[in-house]
Chains A and B, each alone.
Chain A
Amino acid sequence: MLKIWSMKKNEDAAAKKKPKTSAAQIRVQKDLTELDLPSTMQTHFPDPADLLNFTLKITPDEGMYKGGVFTFSFNINPNYPHEPPKVKCVPKIYHPNVDLEGNVCLNILREDWKPVLNLNSVMVGLQYLFLEPNADDPLNKEAAEELKKNRDQFLYHVKSSMRGGYIKGEQYDSVAQ
Protein backbone atom coordinates (compact mmCIF):
# COMPACT_ATOMS: atom_id res chain seq x y z
CA MET A 1 0.00 0.00 0.00
CA LEU A 2 1.24 3.42 -0.95
CA LYS A 3 2.62 5.39 1.97
CA ILE A 4 0.33 8.35 1.83
CA TRP A 5 0.90 9.47 5.36
CA SER A 6 4.39 10.72 4.60
CA MET A 7 2.85 13.00 1.98
CA LYS A 8 0.93 14.89 4.57
CA LYS A 9 2.77 18.16 4.78
CA ASN A 10 3.91 19.58 8.09
CA GLU A 11 1.10 22.08 8.14
CA ASP A 12 -1.30 19.20 7.73
CA ALA A 13 0.23 17.30 10.58
CA ALA A 14 -1.36 19.98 12.72
CA ALA A 15 -4.70 19.60 11.01
CA LYS A 16 -7.21 18.46 13.52
CA LYS A 17 -10.18 16.24 13.16
CA LYS A 18 -12.95 18.25 11.66
CA PRO A 19 -16.33 18.55 13.32
CA LYS A 20 -19.30 16.60 12.06
CA THR A 21 -20.97 19.80 11.01
CA SER A 22 -22.09 19.18 7.44
CA ALA A 23 -20.94 21.35 4.57
CA ALA A 24 -24.50 22.50 3.94
CA GLN A 25 -24.90 23.42 7.60
CA ILE A 26 -21.72 25.52 7.63
CA ARG A 27 -22.74 27.23 4.43
CA VAL A 28 -26.22 28.04 5.75
CA GLN A 29 -24.71 29.41 8.98
CA LYS A 30 -22.38 31.59 6.93
CA ASP A 31 -25.17 32.76 4.62
CA LEU A 32 -27.61 33.57 7.41
CA THR A 33 -25.27 35.27 9.83
CA GLU A 34 -23.92 37.45 7.04
CA LEU A 35 -27.30 38.48 5.66
CA ASP A 36 -27.30 42.17 4.95
CA LEU A 37 -30.96 43.02 4.54
CA PRO A 38 -32.59 46.42 4.22
CA SER A 39 -35.37 47.26 6.70
CA THR A 40 -37.90 46.16 4.08
CA MET A 41 -36.95 42.50 4.57
CA GLN A 42 -37.18 40.34 7.65
CA THR A 43 -36.55 36.66 8.24
CA HIS A 44 -38.57 34.59 10.66
CA PHE A 45 -37.69 31.14 11.98
CA PRO A 46 -40.73 29.21 13.26
CA ASP A 47 -38.24 26.94 15.03
CA PRO A 48 -35.05 28.90 15.71
CA ALA A 49 -33.12 25.63 16.01
CA ASP A 50 -34.05 24.72 12.44
CA LEU A 51 -32.03 26.88 10.07
CA LEU A 52 -33.28 25.09 6.97
CA ASN A 53 -36.92 26.19 7.12
CA PHE A 54 -37.86 29.81 7.54
CA THR A 55 -39.83 32.65 6.03
CA LEU A 56 -38.94 36.02 4.58
CA LYS A 57 -41.26 39.00 4.89
CA ILE A 58 -40.90 41.70 2.24
CA THR A 59 -42.59 45.10 2.76
CA PRO A 60 -41.73 47.15 -0.34
CA ASP A 61 -41.33 50.85 0.43
CA GLU A 62 -41.69 51.93 -3.17
CA GLY A 63 -43.20 50.74 -6.42
CA MET A 64 -46.59 49.31 -7.24
CA TYR A 65 -46.62 46.86 -4.34
CA LYS A 66 -45.90 49.44 -1.65
CA GLY A 67 -48.17 48.98 1.34
CA GLY A 68 -48.22 45.19 1.18
CA VAL A 69 -46.49 42.51 3.23
CA PHE A 70 -45.36 39.52 1.20
CA THR A 71 -44.24 36.34 2.91
CA PHE A 72 -42.05 33.72 1.21
CA SER A 73 -41.24 30.31 2.57
CA PHE A 74 -37.66 29.06 2.26
CA ASN A 75 -36.75 25.42 2.36
CA ILE A 76 -33.10 24.45 2.12
CA ASN A 77 -32.22 20.85 1.43
CA PRO A 78 -29.04 19.04 2.53
CA ASN A 79 -27.62 19.35 -0.95
CA TYR A 80 -27.35 23.15 -0.62
CA PRO A 81 -25.57 25.01 -2.25
CA HIS A 82 -25.38 22.48 -5.05
CA GLU A 83 -29.13 22.92 -5.29
CA PRO A 84 -30.90 26.26 -4.83
CA PRO A 85 -33.26 26.85 -1.89
CA LYS A 86 -36.92 26.11 -2.58
CA VAL A 87 -38.88 29.32 -2.34
CA LYS A 88 -42.62 29.87 -2.49
CA CYS A 89 -44.80 32.91 -2.09
CA VAL A 90 -47.20 32.15 0.76
CA PRO A 91 -50.17 34.47 0.07
CA LYS A 92 -52.01 34.31 -3.25
CA ILE A 93 -50.95 37.52 -5.01
CA TYR A 94 -51.57 39.23 -8.33
CA HIS A 95 -48.13 39.44 -9.86
CA PRO A 96 -46.84 38.64 -13.36
CA ASN A 97 -43.97 36.51 -12.02
CA VAL A 98 -45.83 34.60 -9.31
CA ASP A 99 -48.53 32.07 -10.06
CA LEU A 100 -51.60 31.27 -8.00
CA GLU A 101 -49.82 28.35 -6.33
CA GLY A 102 -47.00 30.59 -5.10
CA ASN A 103 -44.37 29.50 -7.64
CA VAL A 104 -41.94 32.28 -8.36
CA CYS A 105 -40.23 32.97 -11.65
CA LEU A 106 -36.79 34.15 -10.65
CA ASN A 107 -33.92 32.89 -12.79
CA ILE A 108 -31.48 32.36 -9.93
CA LEU A 109 -33.96 30.05 -8.22
CA ARG A 110 -33.75 27.62 -11.13
CA GLU A 111 -31.84 27.76 -14.36
CA ASP A 112 -29.25 30.32 -13.30
CA TRP A 113 -28.55 29.05 -9.79
CA LYS A 114 -24.83 28.67 -8.97
CA PRO A 115 -23.22 27.59 -5.70
CA VAL A 116 -21.41 30.95 -5.48
CA LEU A 117 -24.76 32.66 -5.07
CA ASN A 118 -26.18 32.81 -1.56
CA LEU A 119 -29.38 33.44 0.38
CA ASN A 120 -28.76 37.16 0.29
CA SER A 121 -28.74 37.15 -3.52
CA VAL A 122 -32.02 35.22 -3.60
CA MET A 123 -33.68 37.61 -1.14
CA VAL A 124 -32.52 40.69 -3.01
CA GLY A 125 -33.80 39.08 -6.22
CA LEU A 126 -37.22 38.51 -4.67
CA GLN A 127 -37.47 42.08 -3.47
CA TYR A 128 -36.60 43.26 -6.97
CA LEU A 129 -39.66 41.44 -8.35
CA PHE A 130 -41.85 43.87 -6.41
CA LEU A 131 -39.99 46.92 -7.59
CA GLU A 132 -39.82 45.83 -11.22
CA PRO A 133 -42.39 43.17 -12.09
CA ASN A 134 -41.27 41.63 -15.34
CA ALA A 135 -43.92 41.12 -18.01
CA ASP A 136 -41.53 39.14 -20.20
CA ASP A 137 -41.25 36.16 -17.84
CA PRO A 138 -44.89 35.59 -17.00
CA LEU A 139 -46.20 33.01 -14.59
CA ASN A 140 -49.51 34.78 -14.21
CA LYS A 141 -50.14 35.40 -17.89
CA GLU A 142 -53.11 37.70 -17.45
CA ALA A 143 -51.29 39.92 -15.03
CA ALA A 144 -48.34 40.09 -17.42
CA GLU A 145 -50.52 40.95 -20.41
CA GLU A 146 -52.22 43.64 -18.43
CA LEU A 147 -48.93 45.13 -17.23
CA LYS A 148 -47.77 45.32 -20.84
CA LYS A 149 -50.95 46.76 -22.32
CA ASN A 150 -52.52 48.86 -19.65
CA ARG A 151 -50.31 49.85 -16.78
CA ASP A 152 -52.97 51.90 -15.01
CA GLN A 153 -55.45 49.06 -15.07
CA PHE A 154 -52.73 46.72 -13.81
CA LEU A 155 -51.88 49.04 -10.94
CA TYR A 156 -55.55 49.30 -10.05
CA HIS A 157 -55.83 45.51 -9.97
CA VAL A 158 -52.66 45.16 -7.89
CA LYS A 159 -54.07 47.53 -5.31
CA SER A 160 -57.45 45.84 -5.15
CA SER A 161 -55.87 42.35 -5.02
CA MET A 162 -53.73 43.49 -2.10
CA ARG A 163 -56.91 44.33 -0.20
CA GLY A 164 -58.23 40.85 -0.81
CA GLY A 165 -60.28 41.71 -3.90
CA TYR A 166 -61.39 39.60 -6.85
CA ILE A 167 -59.85 39.85 -10.30
CA LYS A 168 -61.56 37.93 -13.07
CA GLY A 169 -63.30 35.68 -10.60
CA GLU A 170 -60.15 34.90 -8.63
CA GLN A 171 -59.91 36.09 -5.08
CA TYR A 172 -56.51 37.19 -3.84
CA ASP A 173 -55.21 37.24 -0.28
CA SER A 174 -55.23 40.45 1.65
CA VAL A 175 -51.64 41.51 2.21
CA ALA A 176 -52.23 45.07 3.37
CA GLN A 177 -49.86 46.26 6.06
Chain B
Amino acid sequence: MNGNSTSSDWDGRYFHVDQILDKAGPRTDESFVPGDQVKDFLRNNCKILVIGAGGLGCEILANLALSGFKDIHVIDMDTIDISNLNRQFLFRQKDVGKPKALVAAEFIMNRVPGVKVTPYYGKIQDKDEDYYMQFNLVVCGLDSVEARRWINATLVNMVDPENPESLKPLIDGGTEGFKGQARVILPTVSSCYECSLDMLNKPTAFPICTIANTPRLPEHCIEWASVLEWPRVYGDKKLDTDDPEHIGWLYDVASKRAKEFKIEGVTWSLTQGVVKNIIPAIASTNAIIAASCCNEAFKIATSSAAYLNNYFMLIGTEGVYSYTFEHERRKECPVCGGESLDISIRKDWTVERLIEMLVEKQDIQIKKPSLSTPTKQIYFQAPPQLEQATRPNLEKKVSELVEEGGEITVTASTLPFNLSLRITYT
Protein backbone atom coordinates (compact mmCIF):
# COMPACT_ATOMS: atom_id res chain seq x y z
CA MET B 1 0.00 0.00 0.00
CA ASN B 2 2.88 2.34 0.64
CA GLY B 3 3.46 3.32 -2.95
CA ASN B 4 6.38 5.50 -2.00
CA SER B 5 8.12 3.50 0.61
CA THR B 6 11.80 4.03 1.11
CA SER B 7 14.22 1.53 2.53
CA SER B 8 13.59 2.75 6.05
CA ASP B 9 9.83 2.29 5.83
CA TRP B 10 8.34 -0.91 7.10
CA ASP B 11 4.99 -2.53 6.63
CA GLY B 12 2.23 -0.63 8.27
CA ARG B 13 4.45 2.31 9.23
CA TYR B 14 1.91 4.80 7.96
CA PHE B 15 -1.18 2.64 8.42
CA HIS B 16 -3.01 5.23 10.49
CA VAL B 17 -1.90 8.30 8.57
CA ASP B 18 -2.88 6.57 5.33
CA GLN B 19 -6.47 6.26 6.49
CA ILE B 20 -6.62 9.96 5.84
CA LEU B 21 -4.58 10.04 2.66
CA ASP B 22 -6.09 7.05 0.86
CA LYS B 23 -9.62 8.38 0.64
CA ALA B 24 -11.40 11.69 0.57
CA GLY B 25 -13.54 12.63 3.54
CA PRO B 26 -16.64 14.81 3.75
CA ARG B 27 -14.62 17.90 4.66
CA THR B 28 -11.80 17.31 2.21
CA ASP B 29 -10.74 20.14 -0.02
CA GLU B 30 -11.99 19.53 -3.57
CA SER B 31 -8.51 19.66 -5.01
CA PHE B 32 -7.51 16.65 -2.90
CA VAL B 33 -6.56 13.54 -4.85
CA PRO B 34 -6.20 10.58 -2.54
CA GLY B 35 -3.44 8.05 -3.01
CA ASP B 36 0.19 7.82 -3.93
CA GLN B 37 0.73 11.30 -5.26
CA VAL B 38 -0.12 13.10 -2.04
CA LYS B 39 1.89 10.60 -0.01
CA ASP B 40 4.83 11.09 -2.28
CA PHE B 41 4.59 14.85 -1.86
CA LEU B 42 4.39 14.66 1.91
CA ARG B 43 7.16 12.09 2.30
CA ASN B 44 9.56 12.88 -0.49
CA ASN B 45 9.05 16.46 -1.61
CA CYS B 46 7.61 18.61 1.12
CA LYS B 47 10.22 20.72 2.85
CA ILE B 48 9.14 22.23 6.13
CA LEU B 49 10.88 24.71 8.40
CA VAL B 50 10.45 24.69 12.16
CA ILE B 51 11.49 27.88 13.93
CA GLY B 52 12.36 27.31 17.56
CA ALA B 53 13.51 24.08 19.20
CA GLY B 54 12.36 24.86 22.72
CA GLY B 55 9.25 23.77 24.55
CA LEU B 56 7.00 24.00 21.52
CA GLY B 57 9.72 23.16 19.03
CA CYS B 58 10.53 19.75 20.56
CA GLU B 59 6.89 18.75 20.38
CA ILE B 60 6.49 20.11 16.86
CA LEU B 61 9.57 18.29 15.56
CA ALA B 62 8.45 14.98 17.04
CA ASN B 63 4.89 15.34 15.73
CA LEU B 64 6.00 16.27 12.23
CA ALA B 65 8.50 13.44 12.02
CA LEU B 66 5.93 10.91 13.19
CA SER B 67 3.21 12.11 10.83
CA GLY B 68 5.40 11.58 7.80
CA PHE B 69 7.26 14.79 7.06
CA LYS B 70 10.75 13.73 6.12
CA ASP B 71 12.60 16.85 5.13
CA ILE B 72 12.54 19.04 8.18
CA HIS B 73 14.74 22.04 8.90
CA VAL B 74 15.04 23.64 12.32
CA ILE B 75 16.44 26.98 13.46
CA ASP B 76 17.18 27.92 17.05
CA MET B 77 19.70 30.32 18.52
CA ASP B 78 19.71 28.95 22.07
CA THR B 79 21.72 26.39 23.94
CA ILE B 80 20.24 23.89 26.34
CA ASP B 81 19.81 24.93 29.94
CA ILE B 82 19.28 22.46 32.75
CA SER B 83 15.89 24.04 33.48
CA ASN B 84 14.68 23.00 30.00
CA LEU B 85 14.94 19.29 30.70
CA ASN B 86 11.59 18.85 32.42
CA ARG B 87 9.66 19.48 29.22
CA GLN B 88 12.03 19.77 26.27
CA PHE B 89 12.13 16.02 25.95
CA LEU B 90 14.60 15.76 23.10
CA PHE B 91 17.35 16.87 25.48
CA ARG B 92 19.21 15.02 28.22
CA GLN B 93 21.50 16.08 31.01
CA LYS B 94 24.59 15.37 28.91
CA ASP B 95 23.32 17.88 26.31
CA VAL B 96 23.31 20.87 28.65
CA GLY B 97 25.22 23.72 27.02
CA LYS B 98 24.88 22.36 23.49
CA PRO B 99 22.83 24.08 20.76
CA LYS B 100 19.17 23.08 20.88
CA ALA B 101 18.80 22.87 17.10
CA LEU B 102 21.69 20.42 16.71
CA VAL B 103 20.72 18.15 19.57
CA ALA B 104 17.04 18.12 18.59
CA ALA B 105 17.87 17.26 14.97
CA GLU B 106 20.19 14.47 16.03
CA PHE B 107 17.62 13.02 18.43
CA ILE B 108 14.80 12.98 15.89
CA MET B 109 16.98 11.39 13.22
CA ASN B 110 18.07 8.64 15.60
CA ARG B 111 14.59 7.98 16.81
CA VAL B 112 12.56 8.23 13.59
CA PRO B 113 14.26 6.37 10.73
CA GLY B 114 14.25 8.00 7.31
CA VAL B 115 13.63 11.53 8.55
CA LYS B 116 16.22 14.13 7.69
CA VAL B 117 16.41 17.07 10.06
CA THR B 118 18.73 19.89 9.04
CA PRO B 119 19.61 22.15 11.97
CA TYR B 120 20.77 25.71 11.96
CA TYR B 121 22.19 27.10 15.19
CA GLY B 122 21.69 30.84 14.92
CA LYS B 123 19.23 33.62 14.42
CA ILE B 124 16.38 33.65 11.91
CA GLN B 125 17.65 37.08 10.89
CA ASP B 126 20.88 35.48 9.63
CA LYS B 127 18.94 33.97 6.74
CA ASP B 128 17.63 35.77 3.69
CA GLU B 129 14.65 35.38 1.38
CA ASP B 130 16.42 32.81 -0.79
CA TYR B 131 16.71 30.59 2.25
CA TYR B 132 13.04 30.91 3.26
CA MET B 133 11.97 30.47 -0.35
CA GLN B 134 13.06 26.81 -0.37
CA PHE B 135 10.33 25.70 2.06
CA ASN B 136 6.73 24.76 1.42
CA LEU B 137 5.61 25.60 4.94
CA VAL B 138 6.90 27.34 8.04
CA VAL B 139 5.91 26.36 11.58
CA CYS B 140 6.84 28.71 14.39
CA GLY B 141 7.20 27.78 18.05
CA LEU B 142 8.79 30.89 19.46
CA ASP B 143 8.59 32.79 22.69
CA SER B 144 9.71 36.11 21.29
CA VAL B 145 7.35 38.71 19.88
CA GLU B 146 10.20 40.37 18.07
CA ALA B 147 11.29 37.20 16.24
CA ARG B 148 7.69 36.48 15.26
CA ARG B 149 7.19 39.97 13.90
CA TRP B 150 10.35 39.54 11.88
CA ILE B 151 9.48 36.21 10.28
CA ASN B 152 5.90 37.35 9.66
CA ALA B 153 7.04 40.51 7.89
CA THR B 154 9.64 38.55 5.93
CA LEU B 155 7.11 36.01 4.66
CA VAL B 156 4.57 38.71 3.79
CA ASN B 157 7.24 40.68 1.91
CA MET B 158 8.29 37.57 0.02
CA VAL B 159 4.93 37.19 -1.70
CA ASP B 160 5.54 37.95 -5.35
CA PRO B 161 2.37 38.38 -7.41
CA GLU B 162 4.09 36.68 -10.34
CA ASN B 163 5.15 33.61 -8.40
CA PRO B 164 2.60 31.40 -6.58
CA GLU B 165 5.47 29.47 -4.95
CA SER B 166 6.45 32.60 -3.05
CA LEU B 167 3.44 32.36 -0.74
CA LYS B 168 4.52 30.32 2.27
CA PRO B 169 1.86 29.39 4.82
CA LEU B 170 2.99 30.28 8.33
CA ILE B 171 1.65 28.27 11.23
CA ASP B 172 2.32 30.06 14.46
CA GLY B 173 2.05 28.52 17.91
CA GLY B 174 2.52 30.31 21.18
CA THR B 175 2.01 29.45 24.84
CA GLU B 176 2.09 31.33 28.09
CA GLY B 177 1.50 29.19 31.13
CA PHE B 178 -1.90 27.57 30.75
CA LYS B 179 -2.85 29.71 27.78
CA GLY B 180 -1.91 29.25 24.18
CA GLN B 181 -2.81 29.88 20.60
CA ALA B 182 -2.29 28.30 17.21
CA ARG B 183 -2.97 30.13 14.01
CA VAL B 184 -2.68 29.77 10.31
CA ILE B 185 -1.33 32.79 8.48
CA LEU B 186 -1.52 32.81 4.72
CA PRO B 187 0.64 35.84 3.98
CA THR B 188 -1.31 38.55 2.09
CA VAL B 189 -4.41 36.33 2.07
CA SER B 190 -5.38 36.16 5.72
CA SER B 191 -4.70 38.24 8.80
CA CYS B 192 -1.00 38.33 9.68
CA TYR B 193 0.80 38.34 13.02
CA GLU B 194 1.20 42.12 12.95
CA CYS B 195 -2.56 42.55 12.36
CA SER B 196 -3.23 41.06 15.78
CA LEU B 197 -0.38 42.67 17.68
CA ASP B 198 -2.69 44.64 19.94
CA MET B 199 -4.38 41.41 21.11
CA LEU B 200 -1.21 40.34 22.85
CA ASN B 201 -0.98 40.35 26.58
CA LYS B 202 1.77 42.73 27.33
CA PRO B 203 4.32 41.68 29.90
CA THR B 204 3.31 42.66 33.41
CA ALA B 205 4.97 45.90 34.34
CA PHE B 206 4.67 47.39 37.78
CA PRO B 207 4.29 51.14 38.23
CA ILE B 208 7.75 52.53 38.72
CA CYS B 209 6.73 54.48 41.82
CA THR B 210 5.50 51.29 43.48
CA ILE B 211 8.84 49.69 42.79
CA ALA B 212 10.62 52.72 44.16
CA ASN B 213 8.57 53.33 47.27
CA THR B 214 6.03 50.78 48.30
CA PRO B 215 7.27 47.32 47.31
CA ARG B 216 4.94 44.57 48.44
CA LEU B 217 5.92 41.63 46.24
CA PRO B 218 9.24 39.89 45.65
CA GLU B 219 8.83 40.92 41.98
CA HIS B 220 8.84 44.58 43.05
CA CYS B 221 12.24 44.09 44.70
CA ILE B 222 13.65 42.37 41.64
CA GLU B 223 12.40 45.10 39.32
CA TRP B 224 13.87 47.67 41.68
CA ALA B 225 17.24 45.98 41.28
CA SER B 226 17.02 45.66 37.49
CA VAL B 227 15.16 48.82 36.45
CA LEU B 228 16.48 51.33 38.97
CA GLU B 229 19.62 50.05 40.69
CA TRP B 230 21.42 48.48 37.73
CA PRO B 231 21.47 51.67 35.60
CA ARG B 232 22.28 53.76 38.70
CA VAL B 233 25.32 51.64 39.55
CA TYR B 234 26.47 50.58 36.08
CA GLY B 235 25.33 53.52 33.92
CA ASP B 236 25.06 52.54 30.29
CA LYS B 237 26.41 49.03 30.77
CA LYS B 238 23.76 46.72 29.39
CA LEU B 239 22.20 44.15 31.65
CA ASP B 240 22.75 40.72 30.13
CA THR B 241 19.97 38.49 31.40
CA ASP B 242 21.89 35.41 30.25
CA ASP B 243 24.94 36.26 32.34
CA PRO B 244 24.85 34.42 35.70
CA GLU B 245 27.02 37.11 37.28
CA HIS B 246 24.53 39.80 36.35
CA ILE B 247 21.62 37.74 37.63
CA GLY B 248 23.61 37.07 40.80
CA TRP B 249 24.12 40.78 41.36
CA LEU B 250 20.41 41.48 40.89
CA TYR B 251 19.54 38.62 43.21
CA ASP B 252 21.76 40.02 45.97
CA VAL B 253 20.44 43.55 45.59
CA ALA B 254 16.83 42.38 45.45
CA SER B 255 17.31 40.14 48.49
CA LYS B 256 18.63 43.02 50.59
CA ARG B 257 15.71 45.16 49.53
CA ALA B 258 13.25 42.37 50.34
CA LYS B 259 14.76 42.00 53.76
CA GLU B 260 14.47 45.70 54.42
CA PHE B 261 10.76 45.64 53.56
CA LYS B 262 10.15 42.24 55.14
CA ILE B 263 9.10 40.65 51.88
CA GLU B 264 9.61 36.95 51.33
CA GLY B 265 10.11 34.95 48.18
CA VAL B 266 13.03 36.50 46.31
CA THR B 267 14.89 33.54 44.84
CA TRP B 268 17.51 33.10 42.15
CA SER B 269 15.04 31.53 39.75
CA LEU B 270 12.36 34.15 40.37
CA THR B 271 14.97 36.83 39.71
CA GLN B 272 15.86 35.20 36.43
CA GLY B 273 12.17 34.70 35.65
CA VAL B 274 11.23 38.33 36.27
CA VAL B 275 14.08 39.91 34.33
CA LYS B 276 13.76 37.52 31.41
CA ASN B 277 10.00 37.80 31.61
CA ILE B 278 9.60 34.07 31.87
CA ILE B 279 6.15 32.74 32.51
CA PRO B 280 6.46 29.20 33.80
CA ALA B 281 6.06 26.91 30.80
CA ILE B 282 3.49 24.15 31.11
CA ALA B 283 4.39 21.01 29.20
CA SER B 284 0.79 20.05 28.48
CA THR B 285 -0.04 23.46 27.01
CA ASN B 286 2.95 23.10 24.71
CA ALA B 287 1.78 19.64 23.72
CA ILE B 288 -1.74 20.79 22.84
CA ILE B 289 -0.62 23.81 20.86
CA ALA B 290 2.12 21.88 19.05
CA ALA B 291 -0.41 19.19 18.15
CA SER B 292 -2.73 21.79 16.72
CA CYS B 293 0.10 23.39 14.71
CA CYS B 294 1.21 20.05 13.28
CA ASN B 295 -2.35 19.07 12.49
CA GLU B 296 -2.61 22.24 10.42
CA ALA B 297 0.75 21.64 8.76
CA PHE B 298 -0.40 18.16 7.76
CA LYS B 299 -3.76 19.36 6.44
CA ILE B 300 -2.21 22.19 4.44
CA ALA B 301 0.59 20.01 3.04
CA THR B 302 -1.86 17.32 1.93
CA SER B 303 -5.13 19.33 1.51
CA SER B 304 -6.74 16.30 3.12
CA ALA B 305 -9.03 18.31 5.38
CA ALA B 306 -10.24 21.84 6.00
CA TYR B 307 -7.55 23.90 7.67
CA LEU B 308 -7.92 26.26 10.60
CA ASN B 309 -9.46 29.60 9.70
CA ASN B 310 -7.56 31.10 11.32
CA TYR B 311 -7.06 31.52 15.09
CA PHE B 312 -7.37 28.88 17.78
CA MET B 313 -7.20 30.00 21.36
CA LEU B 314 -6.74 27.78 24.37
CA ILE B 315 -7.39 28.96 27.88
CA GLY B 316 -6.58 26.38 30.51
CA THR B 317 -6.39 28.66 33.52
CA GLU B 318 -9.87 27.72 34.76
CA GLY B 319 -10.98 24.44 33.33
CA VAL B 320 -10.26 23.95 29.66
CA TYR B 321 -11.74 26.43 27.27
CA SER B 322 -10.99 26.81 23.63
CA TYR B 323 -12.29 29.09 20.97
CA THR B 324 -11.72 29.35 17.25
CA PHE B 325 -12.42 32.45 15.26
CA GLU B 326 -11.41 34.26 12.13
CA HIS B 327 -9.13 37.12 12.98
CA GLU B 328 -9.63 39.75 10.33
CA ARG B 329 -6.98 41.54 8.39
CA ARG B 330 -6.38 45.09 9.49
CA LYS B 331 -6.51 47.56 6.67
CA GLU B 332 -3.98 49.73 8.46
CA CYS B 333 -1.62 46.84 9.26
CA PRO B 334 1.90 48.16 8.56
CA VAL B 335 2.97 44.75 7.26
CA CYS B 336 0.16 43.28 5.17
CA GLY B 337 -2.27 46.18 5.08
CA GLY B 338 -2.08 49.57 3.54
CA GLU B 339 -2.33 50.27 -0.11
CA SER B 340 0.22 49.87 -2.75
CA LEU B 341 0.43 51.63 -6.03
CA ASP B 342 2.56 51.26 -9.07
CA ILE B 343 3.51 54.69 -10.23
CA SER B 344 5.23 55.54 -13.42
CA ILE B 345 6.81 58.98 -13.57
CA ARG B 346 9.19 60.87 -15.78
CA LYS B 347 12.84 60.63 -14.94
CA ASP B 348 13.16 64.37 -14.50
CA TRP B 349 10.33 64.71 -11.98
CA THR B 350 11.28 66.34 -8.70
CA VAL B 351 10.13 65.11 -5.30
CA GLU B 352 7.94 68.20 -5.10
CA ARG B 353 6.23 67.25 -8.36
CA LEU B 354 5.62 63.71 -7.07
CA ILE B 355 4.06 65.09 -3.88
CA GLU B 356 1.80 67.37 -5.92
CA MET B 357 0.68 64.42 -7.94
CA LEU B 358 -0.13 62.42 -4.79
CA VAL B 359 -2.13 65.27 -3.34
CA GLU B 360 -4.05 65.69 -6.59
CA LYS B 361 -4.87 62.02 -6.87
CA GLN B 362 -8.62 61.73 -6.30
CA ASP B 363 -8.64 58.10 -5.27
CA ILE B 364 -6.28 58.33 -2.32
CA GLN B 365 -7.28 61.63 -0.68
CA ILE B 366 -3.94 62.47 0.76
CA LYS B 367 -2.89 65.67 2.47
CA LYS B 368 0.62 66.56 3.60
CA PRO B 369 2.30 63.28 2.82
CA SER B 370 5.66 62.30 4.32
CA LEU B 371 7.88 60.08 2.19
CA SER B 372 10.75 57.72 2.88
CA THR B 373 12.57 54.79 1.35
CA PRO B 374 13.48 51.77 3.49
CA THR B 375 16.88 53.36 4.13
CA LYS B 376 16.38 57.12 4.13
CA GLN B 377 13.92 59.94 4.59
CA ILE B 378 12.83 61.72 1.43
CA TYR B 379 10.57 64.43 2.77
CA PHE B 380 9.02 64.76 6.24
CA GLN B 381 6.26 67.29 6.94
CA ALA B 382 7.19 67.41 10.63
CA PRO B 383 8.79 67.81 13.15
CA PRO B 384 10.34 71.16 12.11
CA GLN B 385 13.96 69.99 12.31
CA LEU B 386 13.32 67.01 10.04
CA GLU B 387 11.20 69.07 7.67
CA GLN B 388 14.12 71.47 7.35
CA ALA B 389 16.65 68.68 6.95
CA THR B 390 14.65 67.00 4.19
CA ARG B 391 13.45 70.18 2.45
CA PRO B 392 16.42 70.30 0.04
CA ASN B 393 15.19 66.96 -1.33
CA LEU B 394 12.05 68.63 -2.72
CA GLU B 395 14.17 70.09 -5.52
CA LYS B 396 15.94 66.85 -6.26
CA LYS B 397 14.85 64.42 -8.90
CA VAL B 398 13.06 61.39 -7.57
CA SER B 399 15.34 59.31 -9.76
CA GLU B 400 18.37 60.51 -7.79
CA LEU B 401 16.87 59.14 -4.59
CA VAL B 402 14.96 56.04 -5.66
CA GLU B 403 16.14 53.44 -8.11
CA GLU B 404 13.94 51.94 -10.83
CA GLY B 405 11.42 49.62 -9.17
CA GLY B 406 12.27 51.08 -5.76
CA GLU B 407 9.76 51.63 -3.01
CA ILE B 408 8.56 54.70 -1.21
CA THR B 409 6.58 54.55 2.03
CA VAL B 410 4.02 57.32 2.33
CA THR B 411 2.31 58.28 5.57
CA ALA B 412 -0.12 61.12 6.22
CA SER B 413 -2.53 61.99 8.97
CA THR B 414 -5.37 61.65 6.47
CA LEU B 415 -4.33 58.06 5.75
CA PRO B 416 -5.27 55.59 8.47
CA PHE B 417 -2.78 53.21 6.89
CA ASN B 418 0.46 53.55 5.02
CA LEU B 419 0.78 53.66 1.30
CA SER B 420 3.64 52.13 -0.56
CA LEU B 421 4.62 53.30 -4.00
CA ARG B 422 6.62 51.31 -6.47
CA ILE B 423 8.33 53.74 -8.76
CA THR B 424 9.15 53.13 -12.38
CA TYR B 425 10.50 55.74 -14.76
CA THR B 426 9.42 56.50 -18.27
Contact = CB atoms under 8 A, between A and B. Distances in A.
B82 interface: no
Given A33-B381, A78-B146, A139 B208 contact: yes
Q: Which of B299, B301, B383 has the most CB of A within 10 A?
A: B383
B386 A32 contact: yes
Given A18-B420, A141-B213, A79 B411 contact: no
B320 interface: no
A25 to B, nearest CB: 8
Contacts of A101: 228, 231-232
Contacts of B31: 2-3
B194 A23 contact: yes
A4 B374 contact: no
A97 B207 CA distance: 11
A23 B386 contact: no
B414 to A, nearest CB: 10
Interface residues of A, number: 59
Contacts of A2: 29, 31, 169, 299-301, 303, 307
Contacts of B178: none
Contact of B145 (A4, A29, A49, A79): A79
B146 A29 contact: no
Nearest to A136: B209
Given A7-B189, A37-B383, A82 B420 contact: no
Contacts of B198: 114-116
Interface in B188-224: 188-189, 194, 197-198, 200, 202, 205-209, 212-213
A18 B333 CA distance: 12
Interface in A1-55: 1-5, 7-9, 12-23, 25-27, 29-30, 32-35, 37, 42-45, 48-49, 51
B153 interface: yes
18 contacts: A2-B300, A4-B169, A7-B186, A8-B189, A15-B159, A15-B161, A17-B159, A18-B335, A18-B407, A19-B374, A32-B380, A37-B383, A43-B385, A78-B146, A104-B208, A105-B208, A114-B202, A139-B208
Closest 6 CB pairs of A and B: A19-B407, A5-B164, A33-B370, A23-B334, A137-B209, A30-B411
Interface of B: 29, 31, 41, 46, 136, 145-146, 149, 153, 156-157, 159-161, 164, 167, 169, 186, 188-189, 194, 197-198, 200, 202, 205-209, 212-213, 227-228, 231-232, 299-303, 307, 334-336, 338, 340-342, 370, 372-374, 376-377, 380-386, 389, 407-409, 411-413, 418, 420, 422
Given A29-B377, A116-B198, 7 more contacts: A5-B167, A15-B159, A16-B161, A16-B342, A33-B386, A99-B228, A109-B208
